[in-house]
């Protein structure tokens, strides 16, 4: 199949210093950016965000998108949005503007002791600005020594199908999952509902 169209979008943070100092700017689109996004409706839109690790995005994001799409035949998937100076919640703004039923934000995680190139994915149903963190599901620790891109794509595709089937993401989807369906040998919490702790700097 032909490569999916890619669209660039910027947050309201004009530079890296502003992004780090003003998290709220990274959750909003730059002025006029929303009008440049295509309007669906789409079943799913991928937003690839730099977050706190551009290396993670460069190394893993495309492979996760490809692996996920391969397992979702028949869905209307929108253009991939490359978002700069972006926080997780920017995906809600993008998803709403594009009339997406689901938005999956692939974002570089805060570099830690185990990996400097770890990618996280946050999935939200019916994205709107101000969506509660508990309404998201997260797949984390995607890197060469953690969860592989292929396995992450398999898990994300499962979440997408189930979210569309039962009409919920976040806590409700996690609780509806059969035993073992969203656990891996690496961690019992690699797919979770997104806890509103504010602990992760890319949020």
Residue 200 lies in a domain: no
- Mean pLDDT, residues 130-145: 88
Q: Which residues pair with 121 in a beta bridge?
A: 106, 139
- Mean pLDDT, residues 180-199: 39
Q: What CATH number did the domain enclosing 83 receive? A: 3.40.50.11240
Residues 6+ apart with CB under 8 A from 30: 9, 10, 11, 12
Residue 201 lies in a domain: no
Q: Say what the pLDDT of residue 121 is.
A: 93
The total domain count for the chain is 1
Per-residue pLDDT reduced to its tens digit, 160-174? 999 999 899 888 887
Helix (H) / strand (E) element for 112: namely: none
Residues 6+ apart with CB under 8 A from 143: 56, 59, 60, 115, 117, 118, 119
Percent above pLDDT 70 for the chain? 82
Residue with tokens 């799409």: 69
pLDDT interval class at 150 (50, 70, 90): very high
**Given strand 42-49, what is the order of strands in its sheet?**
6-10, 80-84, 42-49, 100-108, 119-125, 136-142, 191-193
Q: What range does the domain containing 112 cover?
A: 6-58+65-193
Instruction: Give the least confident one: 145-154, 173-182, 184-193.
Output: 184-193
Residue 198 lies in a domain: no
Q: Which residue would you say has higher pLDDT here, 113 or 89?
A: 89
Q: Which residue would you say has higher pLDDT here, 54 or 74?
A: 74
């Amino acid at each position: 199949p032909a490569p999916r169209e890619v669209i660039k979008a910027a947050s309201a943070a004009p530079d890296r210093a502003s992004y780090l100092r003003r998290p709220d700017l990274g959750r909003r689109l730059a002025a006029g950016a929303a009008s440049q996004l295509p309007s669906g409706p789409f079943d799913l839109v991928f937003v690839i965000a730099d977050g706190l690790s551009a290396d993670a995005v460069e190394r893993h994001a495309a492979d996760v998108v490809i692996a996920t799409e391969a397992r979702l035949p028949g869905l209307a998937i929108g253009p991939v949005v490359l978002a700069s100076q972006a926080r997780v919640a920017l995906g809600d703004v993008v998803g709403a503007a594009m009339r997406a039923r689901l938005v999956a934000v692939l974002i570089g995680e805060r570099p830690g002791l185990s990996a400097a190139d770890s990618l996280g994915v946050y999935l939200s149903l019916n994205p709107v600005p101000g969506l509660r963190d508990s309404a998201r599901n997260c797949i984390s620790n995607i890197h060469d020594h953690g969860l592989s891109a292929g396995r992450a794509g398999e898990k994300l595709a499962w979440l997408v199908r189930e979210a569309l089937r039962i009409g919920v993401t976040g806590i409700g989807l996690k609780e509806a999952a059969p035993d073992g369906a969203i656990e891996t040998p690496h961690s019992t919490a690699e797919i979770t509902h997104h806890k509103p702790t504010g602990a992760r700097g890319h949020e």
